[in-house]
Each structure stands twice: as structure tokens, then as C-alpha cells.
A and B are shown apart, each in its own frame.
Chain A
Amino acid sequence: MKRKLIAVAILATGLSATGASAAECIAPADPGGGWDFTCRTVGRLLTELGIEESPVQVTNMPGGVGAVAFANVAGKRADEADLLVATSTVGVTQIAQGKYPGDVDVMRWVGMLGSDVGVIVVPADSEYQSLDDLMGALKQGPTSVPVAGSSGAGGWDHIRLLMLADTAGMSGDDYKSIRWVQFDGGSPAVTQMMGGQVGAVSTDLGEIAGFVESGDIKILAALSDEPIPAFPDAPTAKSQGYDVTGYNWRGFYTGGDVSEADYDNWVNELKTLYDSDEWKAAAEANGLIPVWRGGAEFETYVQDQSNLMAEISRQIGVIK
């Protein structure tokens, strides 16, 4: 019996820590979330397509919305060539608000493979049938419509709503008093909205697309430049006169001290993956729009986004 216990324990650890030669992807969250999905799907495809020879190891390192993994890589594994860490706009928002031990320039930003699109949704039978309706109601009484999302106050879901409110001409004091309710994900927020607890939800489309397809909820505004391919009829905020976009890209960083050659190697591998049909299919199945930015272009992009986030966060009073 005991031998069996030990065998299982060894098996269990062995599976999660194979040899040093294999590439490793750190998902800085518990199994089940978006970062975990990014690592597992990309890891699986890198192996299946033969881009990486041995299976890519996925390690979950949850904590502090990615801060624990960031600190770990910055402190101990900054020069490891075989390492990728999954991240997204949410991670960059955290960095911009000073919630990670370091700035974006601590890491090398490898590339983004796709992007989720922010949406504002309401129940299908809601009294608000356009973004103007909802924003009008919020202007009239900022506390009249509680809005929910998957991030806490000051997180990316919240910021996107406030950007809309700002564009709608609400004053800072007014939009700061909009009631914001945090749930542990887009789906719980949407189901609570369907149960009548909140009036609208601001979050990423990918996780909640099923509710739009089933007709339970309605997209008031897609925060993208172009209409979303899967829902061409859903109007963008831009088409309604609100010049706001809010993507949530999915991508990777690696340690700040990796050699230029190793960095380029990762950029090339991810680009090869991005160009495959398999990635396009996997991305679409999960509500992501395939978008590529890699290498130097991506590093500049992340730096710019971080600056922008810091500015918005200051504007709305999340940081000083």
C-alpha cells in the first residue's frame, strides 16, 4: 500500500517537473483561467506542430494576479532560455499600477498571438437597447445602474467602463460613483445579471459568447475597431460615437537576461505557431481574434500600453 502511495506521489511530481531540457510555460494562475488556457493550448500546439521537440511543460504559479510568477522569473530565472510566461492586458495593467515588483522593462516581451475583445452587455430584454441608453441612464444617475465584471475596482473590466463614461462626458466624480460589482469571471457576472442583480456587465467576450449566441444577453457595444467576426451585427462603440477600444491580448514574456538569440528563437517559434491553421482554429473556438505582434514591435507596444494604463489609472483615481 505504502509503496503505491509513494509511487503515485512520485508520479504526480514527476509529471509536473520533467527534465530541464523541455521548454516550460508558466501560467501565473490556478488551473482553469485564461492564462492557464494560453499556456496549455500554446504548449500543446507547439509540440503537436513539431515546433518544440519535447512536450512543453505547463507550470501553474498562482499569486498576486501574476506578481508571484513575475517576481520569481525576475529574481531567479531571468536568463533561462526555455521559459515563457503567459500574460495579457490584465498583467500589464497590474504592472502599470505598480502592483508587480518591477516595471515592464524588467522582462523581454516575446509576442501576442490573439486578443479578446471587451464588450458591454445587458440582458436581452433590458430597457437599455443601445450604448446611448445605458450611458444616458448613468449620466442621469451614476448610481442607478450597478455594473459588474470579472475584475475588481480599478481592474481592466472596470477601466473600460470608465473610459466609456469619460467619453460620454461624465465628470470624474460622477463616473467614480458608478456602482461596480466584482465577480470571479465573466460567466458568473453574466448569470448574476440574468438573475436581475446588476444591470449591465463589462468584460471580455470570449468567456460569455455562448450567452450571446443563445439570445439571453445582448451586446450594446463591442470595444473593437471593426465589428467582431463572430457577431457582425453587434455595433462597436466607435460606430455609436464613443471612440473607445478595449482589447485583452494574450501573449508571453520571458526573463530579462535571455540572450538575443534565444529571444529571437522564441519570437520565431511563436510566429510559426501563429501562422498555423491550428492556432487560428483554437483561437476562434475560444472567442479570440488572431492578432500578431512580436519582437521589437511587441516590446514597444507593451511599453506604450503600460504608459497609457498608468495615465488612465491616474485619471480615474486608482493610483496617485
Chain B
Amino acid sequence: MDILTSLMDGFAVALTPTNIALAIFGCFVGTLIGALPGLGPVNGVAILIPVAFAMKLEPGSALIMLSCIYYGCMYGGRISSIMLNIPGDEPAIMTTLDGYPMAKKGKAAQALGISAMASFVGATVATIGLTFFAPLLAKAAIYFGPADYFALYVMAFATIGGVAGVNPIKTLIAAMIGLMLASVGLDPATGTARFTFGSYHLYDGFDPIVSIVGLFAISEVIMYFEREANGGADQAVPLNKGLPKIREMFAGFSASLRGSFIGFICGVLPGAGASLGAFVSYSVEKQVSDQDGTFGTGDPRGIAAPEAGNNAASGGALIPMLTLGVPGSGTTAVMLALLISLNIQPGPLLFERQPEIVWGLIASLYLANVVLLVMNVPMVGLFTRLLSLPQWLLMPVVIMVSFIGIYSISHSPFDLLVMIGFGVLGYVLRKLDISLVPVVLGLLLGADMENNLRRALSISGGDFAILFQSWIALVIYAFTALMLALTLAMARRRPKRETI
């Protein structure tokens, strides 16, 4: 009951007219920033921190606006994944797998509706978890050591073969390319430069967001040039105007619930995060419910699971950030910086010392969820109209937004070159019919996987036995083996479909 009283107090803080207005503004701006390729929650929040200061907002109000931007970005990231096959931010890459095929079938409105609902479910599950179990979960999460995180990444990569495309070998090649690219930069344990060729710009390796925009957006534009040069007409995407029906939005609802649960756990673990959450949600959902091989061709469950997963993970990531002061991702790191600059010190004492801030924040997350759902449904019509734009108009905009977005991250012309390089790589891979998603997953998760392996080995002094000494890791390995066995069994049972 204590918690409910505190939550009511929180709503009293959040539901003032100013704060509601700020929440709506935050949700709207967040959705747009999330939808723009390259601009993700990290830049969104970082760009708007000075605005919050310039508006001389109370700490509580500033926090409400910026967390609405954070949630809004997570909602918005899916939009360009579905409409353009260009992920708006890192966690949205899994949504391209089924979202874009569904939009191509003329069901863009449904795809957006399903993903809006899944995002809502995921974020709500996470917010409820945050409300009731935050201190408890934070205590549990600290027992996850480097060896356990490594096991988690092993599980993720073990299932990668089945994630995208029909040819597992090509998927593995793509993942290997990603892992190789992830090894560029300073070695985290010793600070030795690897594959940097003396350039300081490569010291931090390839920024995943730069590679995503390059691989997806720039390569899309190159593909367009090629189609035009060959005189090929644009494939007209059949358009269904109007809004998705309520009933359609609930397609894949149970997938949303499963995805939310998995995503939430990944979010709570500071070494995992939203991208892993979306990825594991998708691959587990595929194992569980893809009996007839419709995943990857526009299956509603293939949209619902990763969207619920990434939104639940973003909410879950607030738990270690608030209760331990440990940011699990770039975005929560920015939120952490924001809290600190507002003189709010996240950590074990936050809930006791500044309850009004915490509960005001939690209440505003509930508010943000509702606002985002209500706002996103009518916006579906607006976004589907994007597809009716002629390509010669759309492509220059994609290019412009990509360049501006990437440049605004680090003000580095070098990043633009990297982005173009990735664009060419993306084009080549597409020509070879190799899926781009595993490349990004390899790049995105490879560094964390390596860091945790290195940490485990630093602790044990180089003895690999440490990887199998914790029961958490053993449970994860057992689960991985089970999933692989399931995949093999299903592959046997299912009559061979013709490869497309």
C-alpha cells in the first residue's frame, strides 16, 4: 500500500497543467527525434537538456519532459524501420525484419498500429515493474557477473542464425563481419589501439548509430540510383489510407507480453540493454511461434515482440540507473548526467532521500505511455503518407536527415565518411543477398560481449573455467542448448519450403 500512496503523490506532482503540457511536448518531439534516422534518444535528450535549463524548469518538470522525450524516442524509432527499412535508432533494427515487409504488402497502417500497441504494452509492463520491484530487482541484478553477461551474449549469438533471411550461412557471415568491425578501436582492458591505422578517430571504434544509418539509409539511396539508372520504375507500394482498426492493433498481443517480459529482464541487467532486449525477444518469439515460417515476411508477432521488448528494456534500464547509479545504455547515461546536473544523486539512497522526484518521474512515465499511444494512433495516417511520396523526393530527404543527424552527434566529418563507407558495404551486402541486421547486431553487441569476456578472464587470471562456474551462466547455457535443440527439431519436422 505504501507504494500506491507514494505513486498517488507522484501523480499529484505529474498532473499539473504545466507538467502535462511538457509531457505532451516531450512525447511529440521524442517521437519525431526517434523517427529520424541517426537522431536517437541519446542526442534527443542531450540536445534538449540545455533547452530545459533555458526554460528555467523545476527539476521535477525538467525530468518529466526529458523522460517523455526518452520514451517518445523509443516509440518513434520504429516508424522509419517500418516505413523505410531504416531503423531510427539502435533498438529498432529488429523491427525492420517484419515491419518493412508488412508495410510493403500495403499494411503499413496495421504495422504501425501493432507496433504502437506493442510499445505501449512493453513500456507499461516495464513501468509497473519499476513501480513495484525496483529496489528488489536492483539487488538481484548485482549478482550478474561478467561471466553471466558473457553467457547471455553467447545465447544471443547462438540464435542469430535463425533470425534473419533464409540462408543461415549468409546470416553467420554477416554476424562475423559485424563482430570483426566491433574489434576496431582501443582495447578496453589495456588501452592498446587495434586496427586504428594511427587515426585517433578510430580509437572509439565504429559508432553503431553511424553504421546503422550508413548500412540502411545510404545503401537504400545507392540502390535507388541503381534502379533509376536501369530505368526501373519504383515499386509502387499499395497504400491503404486511414487508421488501423482497434482489433488489428491487438494482433500479436501475446507476443507483446512475452517480449515485454524478456525485454524487461534485459533492461534491468545493466550490462544488457534495449538492443539485446529487442533481439532476444524476437528470436525467442520466433522459436516459440513461427510454426509456418511466416517470420520475416510481415508477421504481426515479429513486429510486436521486438517492439515490446525494446520499450520494456528502456523502462527496465531505469531501474539500475535510479537505484544504483549505473547506466545500462547511452541514453540512461545521459539521463544520469541530467539528474546529476539537477543535483539529484541517483544511487542506493535516492528512493529514501528524494521520493517526490522518483515517484513524480514514475507517474510521468505512466502519463507518457498513455499520451504516446493516443498520439501515435492518429499519427499513423500522417506517417503512411510518407510512402506515397515519390522516391525522387524522399531519397534526398533521407540523405539530408542522415548527414545532419550523424554530424550533430559528434561534429565529426570523419563520421560522415564512415557512414558513406558503411553505405557502400550495405549496398554490396544487399547485392549478395546478405541480411544487414546481423552485421549491426555483431557490431552492437560484439564489444559488450568482448568486454565481459575480458573482465571475467581478468578476474580469474586467464582461466577459462570461470565461464562455467556460476549457476546463472549454467542456466543460460542450458536454455541456449534447449533453444538450439528446438530449432533443429523444428527444421526436421517442417517440410522444406522452397528457398525464395
Question: CB within 8 Å of B: which residues of A?
Answer: 1-2, 4-6, 8-10, 12-13, 15-17, 30-33, 36-37, 40-41, 44, 55, 58-65, 67-68, 71, 99, 101, 143, 146, 152-155, 179-185, 187-188, 191-192, 194-198, 207-211, 213-214, 216, 282, 285-286
Contacts and interface: CB of A to CB of B under 8 A. Distances in A.
B145 A30 contact: no
A2 B340 contact: no
A30 B411 CA distance: 12
26 contacts: A1-B382, A1-B385, A1-B386, A5-B36, A9-B36, A9-B400, A15-B47, A16-B408, A31-B45, A31-B46, A31-B49, A37-B337, A40-B337, A40-B341, A63-B412, A65-B191, A67-B200, A68-B203, A152-B189, A153-B189, A153-B191, A155-B191, A182-B458, A196-B143, A210-B345, A210-B349
Interface string B326-354: 11001001101100110101111110000
A13 B404 contact: yes
A180 B333 contact: no
A153 B190 contact: yes
A1 B383 contact: yes
A64 B386 CA distance: 40
B105 interface: no
Given A31-B337, A143-B461, A155-B191, A12 B201 contact: no
Contacts of B333: 30-33
B191 A99 contact: yes
Contacts of B146: 181, 192, 197
B401 interface: yes
A165 to B, nearest CB: 17
Interface stretch (B50-58, B300-308, B432-440, B489-497): B50-58
B43 interface: yes
A196 B145 CA distance: 8
Contacts of B343: 282, 285
Nearest to A284: B343
A320 B408 CA distance: 39
Contacts of A195: 142-145
B53 A44 contact: yes
Interface residues of B, number: 75
A183 B341 CA distance: 23
B32 A4 contact: yes
Contact of A210 (B36, B53, B325, B386): B325
Contacts of B33: 8, 12
Contacts of A184: 451
A92 B420 CA distance: 34
A12 B408 contact: yes
B429 interface: no
A9 B341 contact: no
Interface string B294-326: 000000000000000000000000001000111
Nearest to A193: B142
Contacts of A191: 141-142, 270, 320, 324, 326
Given A12-B405, A31-B333, A195-B143, 19 more contacts: A1-B382, A2-B397, A17-B411, A31-B46, A32-B336, A40-B49, A44-B341, A60-B46, A60-B409, A64-B203, A65-B203, A152-B188, A152-B191, A179-B459, A179-B461, A196-B143, A198-B459, A209-B345, A214-B348
